[in-house]
Amino acid sequence: MEQYIIKGGNPLVGEVVIGGAKNAALGILAASIMTDGRCLIDNVPDVRDINVLLQAMEGIGAVIDRKSSNEVEISGKNIDSNGDLIVDNEYIRRIRASYYLIGALLGKYRKAKVVLPGGCDIGSRPIDQHIKGFRALGAKVKIEHGMVIAEAKVLRGAHIYLDVVSVGTTINIMMAASLAKGNTIIENAAKEPHIVDVANFLNSMGANIRGAGTDVIRIKGVEKFHDTEYSIIPDQIEAGTFMVAAAATKGDILIKNVIPKHLEAISAKLIEIGAEVEESDDAVRVVATRRLKHTQIKTLPYPGFPTDMQPQMAITLGLSKGTSTITESIFENRFRYVDELRRMGANIKMVDGNVAIIYGVDKYTGAEIDAPDLRAGAALVIAGLAAEGYTTVSQIGYIQRGYERFDEKLRSLGGLIEKVDSEREINKFRFKTGSMM
């Protein structure tokens, strides 16, 4: 079984280039089948969730041409619209973004049959708002035998007020409504950078969407979409993860190919706890020279502090001076890394399931730990890089779902980390890095 082995204690120093945003790419790739034309999409991250989505799209007849690891050409022309348009396989069941194929297929063909979405186990993840949105547009939606089945004779624009701010729902409604008759207004829409990116992509295919990035999005339905070429925005969370890696290891990292505006909530917290953050046009540099301080964090929809950065920040605060608190307000089960981090010496008390009280310790010590989900997995790798001694992280498939060449990028910053598959390889790494069992 693949694991990462890490020898901690080296500050991470150097430059790293950030890839395309996974969560924008998932929406954009799904939306690309809404035209019979050709979509050439660049800056696509080469990560597992993306590859699973592309395979599922191929499964319904889309033609996918990987031009290179980060560029793909897609055509939805050969999708058999007379068939049932069933999206199901053992891999797609595990990812969340399968739900974007409901909005895309419903918009274009007025029908879709997609297996209920999975995704990281970070709490209950209902899709009631997606369903409410599709129904408001005139679709009949039912869930049978684990599949979401949506159909409409006609899709008509509607005024939709979301009960919760939801990224997935906002994107799904934007897609279906773009090819509906008439106008749609989404109120209480999510404002994440990837919402804007998916809207820009749809507009580049001929959609008429205004207001993405605010909480009211207005969509005028159009007849059909055309060819496009598009480049996906940089991944805000991958960038944030490397920012925190610099802070937690007392390092100095120049993080290139980012949009600093998207990172403001993260930069502000790092500055507050004593790190230096320098922004330029498309890069940020994070430097930490001494022990950082405590703070309070509450996760919120954008532009608040992102839930996807919560575990990484907790790892840093666990080594900071004083007592910090983190309140998770988006997902109820996003602290499964706490037990793992305790094995490394962290002192964290949980209150009411969604508040972590973190008493800063002087150091972590290496341990054998499991990645519980994508972001927590990446956070624990950083804990390992900051810790004294050796750490092994298992279940790294989670990390590979969303971080491209994570270990390679960390190595280029001086991190002692390797992907290993056997006890022999672990011993080889220990030998190479100066300690035999």
Which residues are known catalytic residues? 120
Question: Strands 38-42, 228-231: parallel, antiparallel or unpaired by DSSP?
Answer: parallel
What is the C-alpha to C-alpha distance for residues 391 and 394, in angstroms, rounded to an integer? 10
Q: How far from the centroid of its chain's Cα atoms is residue 386's Cα?
A: 23
3-state secondary structure at position 415: coil
CB environment 31-41: b (16+ within 10 A), e (fewer): bbbbbebbbbb
Site string for ligand EPZ, 288-307 (x = CB under 6 A): -------------------x
* Helix or strand run (H / E) with residue 161: strand 159-161
Q: State both tokens at 74.
A: 């897609």
Task: For residue 372, state whether it binds ligand EPZ (rule: CB under 6 A).
Answer: no
Q: C-alpha distances in angstroms, 311 versus 241, 347, 361, 397?
A: 10, 14, 16, 17
Residues 395-414 that bind ligand EPZ (CB under 6 A): 402
3-state secondary structure at position 39: strand
Q: Which listed range, 10-18, 166-174, 344-352, 416-424, lies at the site for ligand EPZ (CB under 6 A)? A: 166-174
The nearest distance, CB 129 to ligand EPZ, in angstroms, is 3
Q: State both tokens at 208.
A: 């008429």
The nearest distance, CB 194 to ligand EPZ, in angstroms, is 7
Task: For residue 7, state whether it binds ligand EPZ (rule: CB under 6 A).
Answer: no
Task: For residue 130, state whether it binds ligand EPZ (rule: CB under 6 A).
Answer: yes
Q: State both tokens at 46.
A: 């080469």
Nearest residue relative to ligand EPZ (C-beta): 168
Q: Which residues contact 134 (CB under 8 A, 6 or more apart)?
A: 102, 103, 106, 141, 150, 152, 172, 173, 176
What is the C-alpha to C-alpha distance for residues 244 and 13, in angstroms, rounded to an integer? 12
Q: C-alpha distances in angstroms, 93 versus 52, 99, 115, 155, 308?
A: 10, 10, 6, 27, 21
Task: For residue 148, state whether it binds ligand EPZ (rule: CB under 6 A).
Answer: no
> For 121, phi and psi rounded to 5 degrees?
-80, 85
Say whether the peptide bond before residue 303 is cis (omega within 30 degrees of 0).
Answer: yes
Residue number with CB closer to ligand EPZ (86 or 116): 116
The nearest distance, CB 237 to ligand EPZ, in angstroms, is 6
Residue number with CB closer to ligand EPZ (72 or 387): 72
Residue number with CB closer to ligand EPZ (93 or 293): 93
Q: How many residues bind ligand EPZ (CB under 6 A)?
A: 25
Site string for ligand EPZ, 172-211 (x = CB under 6 A): ------------------x---------------------
Site string for ligand EPZ, 11-40 (x = CB under 6 A): ------------x--x--------------
Task: For residue 166, state whether it binds ligand EPZ (rule: CB under 6 A).
Answer: yes
Q: From the list 197, 308, 370, 404, which residue makes contact with ligand EPZ (rule: CB under 6 A)?
A: 308
Residue number with CB closer to ligand EPZ (10 or 32): 32
Residue number with CB closer to ligand EPZ (105 or 173): 173
Task: For residue 108, state whether it binds ligand EPZ (rule: CB under 6 A).
Answer: no
The nearest distance, CB 362 to ligand EPZ, in angstroms, is 30
Q: Which residues of this protein are in contact with ligand EPZ, per CB under 6 A? A: 23, 26, 96-97, 120, 122, 125-130, 164, 166-169, 190, 307-308, 330-331, 374-375, 402
